[in-house]
Amino acid sequence: MRVIVIGAGVLGTMHAWQAVQRGHEVVHIEREAEARGASVRNFGLIWVSGRAAGEELATALRARELWEEIGAAVPGLGFRANGSLTAVTTEAELAVARAALARPDAAARGFRLLTPGEVRAAEPALRGELLGALACDRDAAVEPRTAQRALREALHRSGRYTFLGGREVRDVTGGNAVRDDHGELHGGDAVVLCTGAWLGGLARELAPDLPVRRVRLQMMQTAPLGERLTTSVADADSFRYYPAYDGAALDAMAAAQAQPPAAAEHKMQLLMVQRADGGLTIGDTHEYAEPFAFDVDEAPYAHLASVAEALLGRPLPQVRRRWAGVYAQCVDTSRVVHRERVRDAVWLVTGPGGRGMTCSPAIAETTANELGW
């Protein structure tokens, strides 16, 4: 088959990967010279721990298997099975961690509850005052700024892959072809549009009632820490954000301890992962009401720094980068992704939300299976 993939973020690139792995020819079209959206503006986390039971968790677990397989084939991804620790500092937070450990799917997630001493042994860089941590052995990480580039380089080596950057697709013609803004027509047996947060233009024309919203985040990255952070780290505000922790213990925690004003206003959690250069990627916020601001707000950064420093028990290295990003999320957040046939042989796949980096390999695999590739 000849497959046309639109969008070179992680979701589009994984669809190209699936097609090439199955022996097909791929033409991959991206409006930027290379991906510039949420796929490079994230943590690079393969985050199994907080996923909702059912389809979402099953997708994340399958994606985690695929990430490991692809990471072995493409070392440039920087895949590492580093796991995660969600640090707890109060009895109410500890109760949520214990409830998570009692879930019937706790073993599948790789949950373990660590004592303060076990946390110190597993993660010596965490020197703050802790009551323990919820460990998740299935969590992992890649390098988001370079992952798509490494995948494209591997795809080129197949001899069945063509990347066309700096081209915006303007029209679908004949049910199985697209025309770009250079006036060139690209036809195939299947067209898959992975447009990310680009929900206007052609995406709106093809799917005017798209049940997807946009979400804005703020993040930052520091200079090298000077020591190894062996796992990814979260604070207990992540319990409020991820559906795996819903229940009576979380309700009690929410009633017992209010978030600081900046965290509540910006719907924040702390996630922290060390990059290959030793720096820390730290975030994030969640903003849902458009139009989004064109600038970044300093209050969330101050809050993230204070929480990170409390967990590390030391000052953060100098912050070198701050940025904002926007991703697409299904309005019904229980859905993993929106997949819609919009023309005879044209499918639109979008809206994984904050699950995009985690779940994209399995989402692409499902698309390939459903389309009979």
Residue 163 DSSP SS3: strand
Cβ neighbours of 313 (radius 10 Å): 12
The structure tokens 């022996």 sit at: 23
Q: Contact, 134 vs 85, CB < 8 A?
A: yes
Q: Check residue 175 and give its pLDDT.
A: 86
Q: Check residue 79 and give its pLDDT.
A: 98
d(CA 263, CA 301): 10
Q: Mind listing the pLDDT tens digit for each residue in 235-280?
A: 999 999 999 999 999 999 999 999 999 999 999 999 999 999 999 9
**Mean pLDDT confidence for 218-236:** 98
* Burial class of residue 314 in the structure, from the number of CB atoms within 10 Å of its CB (0-12 exposed, 13-18 middle, 19+ buried): middle
CATH topology of domain 1-82+142-210+335-373: FAD/NAD(P)-binding domain (3.50.50)
d(CA 285, CA 232): 17
**DSSP letter assigned to residue 167:** -
Q: Mind listing the pLDDT tens digit for each residue in 56-70?
A: 999 999 999 999 999
Q: Do domains 1-82+142-210+335-373 and 84-137+212-330 have the same CATH topology?
A: no
**Percent of all residues in the chain with a pLDDT value above 70, rounded to a whole number:** 100
d(CA 338, CA 350): 5
Q: Contact, 349 vs 193, CB < 8 A?
A: yes
CB within 8 Å of 157: residues ≥ 6 apart:
none
Q: Mind listing the pLDDT tens digit for each residue in 286-329?
A: 999 999 999 999 999 999 999 999 999 999 999 999 999 999 99
Cα separation values, 120 from 90, 148, 244, Å: 17, 34, 25
Q: Mind listing the pLDDT tens digit for each residue in 162-201?
A: 999 999 999 999 889 999 999 999 999 999 999 999 999 9
Among residues 335, 337, 336, 358, the alpha carbon closest in space to that of 349 is found at 337
For 264-298, the DSSP string reads HHTT---EEEE-TTS-EEEE---B-SSSPPSS--H
Question: For the domain bounded by 84-137+212-330, which CATH number is listed?
Answer: 3.30.9.10
**Mean pLDDT confidence for 116-120:** 97
Average pLDDT across the chain, whole number:
97
Confidence of residue 45 (pLDDT cuts 50, 70, 90): very high
Confidence of residue 337 (pLDDT cuts 50, 70, 90): very high
Using the predicted structure, report yes or no on whether residue 345 has a pLDDT greater than 90: yes
**Percent of all residues in the chain with a pLDDT value above 90, rounded to a whole number:** 99
Q: Check residue 91 and give its pLDDT.
A: 98
Global model pTM greater than 0.85: yes
Cα separation values, 53 from 17, 187, 237, 317, 338, Å: 27, 39, 19, 37, 18
Q: Check residue 245 and give its pLDDT.
A: 98
d(CA 186, CA 166): 15
What Rg, from alpha-carbon coordinates, does the chain have?
21
Q: Check residue 159 and give its pLDDT.
A: 97
> What ranges do the domains of the chain cover?
1-82+142-210+335-373, 84-137+212-330
**DSSP letter assigned to residue 188:** -
Cis-peptide into 284, omega within 30 deg:
yes
Q: Check residue 174 and give its pLDDT.
A: 87
d(CA 134, CA 335): 26
Q: Check residue 141 and give its pLDDT.
A: 98
Compute CA 226 distance to the chain's CA centroid, rounded to the nearest angstrom: 26
Question: In one letter, which amino acid is 318?
Answer: Q
